[in-house]
Structure 1
Amino acid sequence: MVISQSEYYISPEEYLEGEKFSEIKHEYIDGQVYAMSGASDAHVTVSLNVSLLLRNHLRGSDCRVYMADMKAQIDVINRYFYPDVMVTCDTQDKEFEYFKSHPCLIIEVLSESTEGYDRGKKFASYRHLESLQEYVLISPQQTTVECFRRNEEGHWVLYPYGKEEEVYLASVDFRCAIAQIYEDVLLIDENIS
């Protein structure tokens, strides 16, 4: 969530160095730094569940799963974001300690304050990553997972998943029951009779 903006241009190098010591996380857009707010219990639980499921699935492979504190670099448009969950299988990313430039999968858990941004401008930014095969949006309030998958023509196709369905992420050949993503999360749609 954007809650403050710097008035002065900050270089990517200054940003990366500052983030090493900052007590709060910031996203970086064209020389401007934006502080990020905290997340709800449901948001954190969904992020953790997905991270653990992916980590267990990818254990022993060349892929790495990152949650919340690893930056995604979009060099061609001068941006750094902190995805909720990110997977990279590209060996080039091993040389970067504080960011990854070649993710194949990015997952954002939505919140009321960031949903429009995650669906709009942030997704538009992420589409500049040639390595990105899937962009996933997960609601922490109801059983809804939306997977945007890049097809052979380079177009993004929506694959929505709902209650009692199996979620499939082709980028890492991963399947799970949607209920596993929502384990220990109190959902709004469960409270409606």
Structure 2
Amino acid sequence: MVAYPDRLPEMTPQEYLEWEEQQPIKHEYVNGYVYAMAGGTIPHNIIAVNLTNALKNHLKGKGCLVLSADAKLGISEQGPFHYPDVMVTCDLRDKMAIKMVRYPSLIVEVLSPSTEGYDRGYKFTHYRRISTLKEYVLISADRLSVECYRLNDRGKWELTHYFIEESTPAGTELEIHLTSVNFSCPISLLYEDVVL
């Protein structure tokens, strides 16, 4: 999903949190400004649901929460506040969360042409401030492409890009790995029912 600025006065984080509870739609908050969240495309939604369901099944009984785009993420008490497409938290501090989580290990954004720059840039900059985050995943909604940014032992982010090349033999199944939650699946599972 993409955020569009509302024509609202600047708000403090507390004003935003109180104000947003009364709103019929979701809004992100960055540096005092509020951004309305626009709906995504059908392929965007299908991909997010496919991954959410697969992660939920994989993590059942393991004490983790798998959350969709309706769950708010607070980078800190002062913000920014975002709504990732999918996130997983196994942190005890998030277990009793009602309004937002703060300690995810995995965050996933499904890309579209209108969100790609924002998700790669500002959001990733914000997400990297989360001490518990181990993996940030970007999934394209218009081609078979999954990018996994993983925090290595040296504290550096490394990219693993999963995609089908033109030279890939027909029928080859590409497997993606999300090490933060010990999860693997064929890339085709993410794109099941998506027309590319």
TM-score bucket (shorter structure): over 0.9
Structure 1: give runs of 5+ residues left out of the alignment: 188-193
Offset at 1:10?
1.5
Residue identity opposite 2:47 in structure 1: V
Look up the equivalent residue of 1:166 and give its one-letter code. Answer: E
The CA deviation string for residues 8-67 of structure 1, in whole angstroms up to 9 with x for no partner, is 232222222232231111001122110111110000000000000000000001110000
Report Cα offsets for 1:64-96 as digits up to 9, x if no partner: 000010011111762000000000000001232
Q: How far apart in 1 are the matches of 2:105 and 2:46?
A: 22
Alignment equivalent of 2:176, drawn from 167, 173, 178: 167
Return the letter of the residue paired with 2:72: K
Tell me the amino acid that sits aligned with residue 133 of structure 2: L
Unaligned residue ranges in structure 2 (runs of 5+): 165-172
The answer to whether 1:183 aligns with 2:192 is yes
Q: Quote the residue 2:143 is aligned against.
A: 142
TM-score w.r.t. structure 2 length? Answer: 0.91
Amino acid in the other structure paired with 2:158: V
2:168 alignment counterpart: none
Is the CA contact (8 Å cut-off) linking 1:6 and 1:32 kept in structure 2?
no
Aligned AA (1:179) = S
Structure 1 distance, partners of 2:190, 2:8, is: 39
* d(CA) in 2 for partners of 1:125, 1:32: 15
Per-residue deviation, residues 83-118 of structure 1 (Å, max 9, x unmatched): 000000000012321111000000000011110010
Compared CA separation, residues 180 and 76, structure 1 to 2 (3 A):
same
Map 1:59-74 → 2, pairs under 5 A = 59-74=60-75
Residues 49, 180 of structure 1: 8 Å contact kept: yes
The equivalent residue for 1:52 is: 53
| Letter paired with 2:177 | Y
Letter paired with 1:128: R
Q: Determine whether 1:99 maps to 2:108.
A: no
SS at match of 1:21: coil
Displacement, 1:6?
4.2
TM-score, L = length of structure 1: 0.92
Question: Are the equivalent residues in 1 in contact too, given 2:5–2:33 (CA < 8 A)?
Answer: no
State the one-letter code of the partner of 1:133.
K
Per the alignment, residue 154 of structure 1 pairs with: 155
Which residue is 2:32 aligned to? 31
Stretch of structure 1 that moved more, 101-110 or 73-82 = 73-82
Conserved in 1, the CA contact under 8 Å of 2:135 and 2:150? yes
Distance 1:95 1:30, change over 3 A: farther
Q: Distance in 1 between matches of 2:183 and 2:65?
A: 14
Q: Which moved more, 1:32-41 or 1:68-77?
A: 68-77
